[in-house]
């Protein structure tokens, strides 16, 4: 490559990264476009430390961009009940209050998960009856505290191993698979109006794990317990994102059981620094996911796992990867933003 063409390529890449959306659609925003396309919301995860970043908040607070927010951490067990019987709702309340102020829906996340679970639960050595009581008490207290405020609750999160089969967590080891319907029943009793979800990753195509998630929905239903939806987290990698057909058919498998589907934690990571080609492919990949959701009436909304690379979990977890979100580190929209808007706009 000559010096001139190298310079031109990097100039093009820079302008593509910084280019804002097409002006008519810029006014609409992702949530406005999603609702116009028939979805219930386009949302973003957020987290308490970010709430002091005023530039970040200006975009998050805009309900034309985000019609729903999800607390990334502050409603998890370790924050809410760090020691047995001691509940701390301050951080979760801050996100719930923000949703109220902005007239945004709230996806409450999550009640039962092997991770961010305090050791008093995971290593407590409780017998079956005691752990059932602890599980029910945690869920009842937390769901009651947020009663009427959570549009959705992720009741059980990531109960399956990466390759499928139940994750061998303390709940499964002590209670068996019945911990899942027990959890849904407790949540339903505490807030009958919240939509109750099972949430997991790698269930967006027809994998063994996907089939096991289908079986979890059937299991809860077999107990006569309410389950309303399945969250497909959709943590993808540029160029390896699921095909639209595969995702549509995975959504349909859940729809066939009478439950809805939401895309709950969408991000599409790439190696960093991201190249122009990767960001272009990323835009295509985002459109694939949006198009799959739009094509299936059971798919009711899309949430990105925070909206800016500045606050993404990806670089902290996958070394050498990042740039996964539609806004860059400087809160500028990327090609992915235009792609999502374009997919929503052409629905
Ligand atoms: O975004 C969350 C990050 O800040 C935490 O460090 C991490 C801890 O495991 O959890 C992240 O959120 C996860 C979500 O709760 C469940 N699905 C995977 C998400 C990314 O790890």
Q: How far is the CA of 135 from the centre of ligand 1 (A)?
A: 21
Q: What is the pLDDT of residue 347?
A: 57
- Cβ–ligand 1 contact at 306 (below 6 Å): no
Q: What is the pLDDT of residue 277?
A: 98
Q: How far is the CA of 333 from the centre of ligand 1 (A)?
A: 23
Question: pLDDT of 151-196, one tens digit each?
Answer: 999 999 999 999 999 999 999 999 999 999 999 999 999 999 999 9
Closest-lying ligand 1 atom to the alpha carbon of residue 109: 15
Task: Give the sign of the dihedral formed by CA 97, CA 150, CA 263, CA 177.
Answer: positive
| pLDDT of 6 strictly over 90 | no
Residue 265 among the catalytic residues:
yes
Mean pLDDT estimate for the chain: 93
Q: How far is the CA of 190 from the centre of ligand 1 (A)?
A: 25
Output 277 or 3, whichever has higher pLDDT: 277
Which residue in 243, 150, 232 sits closest to 194, CA to CA? 150
pLDDT classification of 4: cutoffs 50, 70, 90 = very low
CA distances from 22 to 19, 28, 182, 283 (A): 9, 10, 49, 14
Question: pLDDT of 285-308, one tens digit each?
Answer: 999 999 999 999 999 999 999 999
Question: pLDDT of 8-17, one tens digit each?
Answer: 344 444 444 4
Q: What is the pLDDT of residue 28?
A: 82
How far is residue 160's CA from residue 175's CA, in Å, rounded to a whole number? 15
Q: What is the pLDDT of residue 232?
A: 98
Q: Name the residue with the closest Cα to ligand 1, atom 14.
A: 72
Q: Looking at residue 242, what DSSP letter applies?
A: P
- Cβ–ligand 1 contact at 73 (below 6 Å): yes
Ligand 1 pocket mutation, candidates 49, 71, 72, criterion most atoms within 8 A of CB: 72
Residues in contact with 282: Cβ distance below 8 Å, sequence separation at least 6, in sequence order: 238, 268, 270, 274, 323, 334, 335, 336, 339
Task: Name the active-site residue from 81, 158, 248, 265.
Answer: 265
Q: In terms of DSSP bridges, do strands 321-322 and 260-271 run parallel, antiparallel, or are they unpaired?
A: antiparallel
| pLDDT of 2 strictly over 60 | no
Average the pLDDT over 246-261 and give the result: 98
Q: Could you tell me how far CA 102 lies from the centroid of its own chain?
A: 19
How far is residue 161's CA from residue 89's CA, in Å, rounded to a whole number? 30
Question: pLDDT of 88-108, one tens digit each?
Answer: 999 999 999 999 999 999 999
Which residue in 285, 294, 292 sits closest to 347, CA to CA? 294
- Cβ–ligand 1 contact at 72 (below 6 Å): yes
Question: pLDDT of 20-67, one tens digit each?
Answer: 444 444 448 999 999 999 999 999 999 999 999 999 999 999 999 999
């Amino acid at each position: 490559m000559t010096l001139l063409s190298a310079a031109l390529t990097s100039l093009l890449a820079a302008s593509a990264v910084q280019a804002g959306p097409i002006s008519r659609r810029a006014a609409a925003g992702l949530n406005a476009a999603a609702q116009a396309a028939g979805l219930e919301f386009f949302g973003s995860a957020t987290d308490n430390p970010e709430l002091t970043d005023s530039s970040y908040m200006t975009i998050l607070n805009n309900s034309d961009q985000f019609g729903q927010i999800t607390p990334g951490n502050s409603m998890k067990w370790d924050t809410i009940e760090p020691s047995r019987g001691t509940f701390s709702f301050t951080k979760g309340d801050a996100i719930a209050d923000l949703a109220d102020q902005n007239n945004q829906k709230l996806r409450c996340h999550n009640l039962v998960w092997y991770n961010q679970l305090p050791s008093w639960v995971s290593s407590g050595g409780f017998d079956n009856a005691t752990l059932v009581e602890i599980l029910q008490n945690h869920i009842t207290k937390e769901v009651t505290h947020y009663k009427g405020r959570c549009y959705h609750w992720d009741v059980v999160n990531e109960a399956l191993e990466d390759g499928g089969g139940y994750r061998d967590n303390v709940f499964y080891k002590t209670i068996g698979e019945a911990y899942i319907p027990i959890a849904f029943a407790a949540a339903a009793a505490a807030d009958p109006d919240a939509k109750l979800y099972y949430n997991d990753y790698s269930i967006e195509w027809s994998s063994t794990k996907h089939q096991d998630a289908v079986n979890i929905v059937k299991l809860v239903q077999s107990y006569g317990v309410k389950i309303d939806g399945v969250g497909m987290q959709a943590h993808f990698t540029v160029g390896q994102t699921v095909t639209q057909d595969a995702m549509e058919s995975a959504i349909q498998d859940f729809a066939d059981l009478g439950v809805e589907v939401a895309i709950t934690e969408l991000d599409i990571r790439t190696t960093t620094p991201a190249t122009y080609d990767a960001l272009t492919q990323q835009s295509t990949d985002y459109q694939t996911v949006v198009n799959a959701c739009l094509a299936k009436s059971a798919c009711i909304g899309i949430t990105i796992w925070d909206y800016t690379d500045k606050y993404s979990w990806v670089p902290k977890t996958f070394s050498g990867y990042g740039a996964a979100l539609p806004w860059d580190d400087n809160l500028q929209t990327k090609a992915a933003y235009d792609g999502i808007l374009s997919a929503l706009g052409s629905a």
